[in-house]
Amino acid sequence: MIKIITIDREYGSGAAEIAATLAARLGWKLWDQLLTIEIARITGCDCPAVEEREERRDALHYRLFKAFLRGSFEGTLNAQRVKMVDADCIREAAEKVVREAARDGNCVIVGRGSAHYLQSNPDAFHVFIYAPFEEKIQRLRDMGKSEEEAHLLAETVDQDRAAYVKQYFKIDWPFREIYHLMINSSLGDDAVVETILNSVDIVKGSLAGR
């Protein structure tokens, strides 16, 4: 029985809006901004700080600093006194929230490594949403981004996500083998939602017939 849908995505592909529509159609809980809020609660920091670090590696200078702390006795003592909100602890919190959401079921989970954490969960259906570069630029401009900012975000955010997945999951992103469906959002948001729903129904029917 499929009761979890994970949505991985390229930045600017419209996946957030598609996920929200999908959750509303199903009457399921949407874990997108709510996931960020829960991670912030667990880590004890505010949402903007989490958003800056979600699905990103720490900056090189920070990784070097953290390695120094871990490599020195004095640094280890200091690290125990000061709670370090970094990519490691945000990833750990994200995994905790994703797994708890999956246990409750009837949910759509957007990114944050959810497809990887739930890869072996038989109740999960994994989707990857992508789009042509110019389509992503147009969506970002429609959201109020300037042409220059849209290009910068479209070029860099997915690079950060790929580096994050490589570091924590040791695979190249997107790792096609874990997705049940990969779909181009230039088909239109409604068409994408319908395709996902139809695909889930097909899988449900296949499982029921076993």
Predicted confidence (pLDDT) per residue in 117-147, tens digit: 999 999 999 999 999 999 999 999 999 999 9
User: Is the Cβ–Cβ distance between 12 and 150 less than 8 Å?
Assistant: yes
How far apart are alpha carbons 59 and 134 in whole angstroms? 28
Q: Does residue 178 surpass a pLDDT of 70?
A: yes
pLDDT tens sequence across 151-165: 999 999 999 999 999
Q: With 0-12 CB in 10 A as exposed, 13-18 as middle and 19+ as buried, what is 186?
A: middle
pLDDT tens across 25-53, in order? Answer: 999 999 999 999 999 999 888 888 888 88
Q: What pLDDT does 84 receive?
A: 54
Lowest average pLDDT, out of 71-85, 139-153, 183-197, goes to 71-85
In this predicted model, which residue has the larger pLDDT, 110 or 82?
A: 110
Residue 178's alpha-carbon distances to 14, 39, 64, 65, 115, in angstroms, are 21, 24, 32, 34, 7
Set out the domains of the chain in order of their start, with CATH numbers: 4-208 (3.40.50.300)
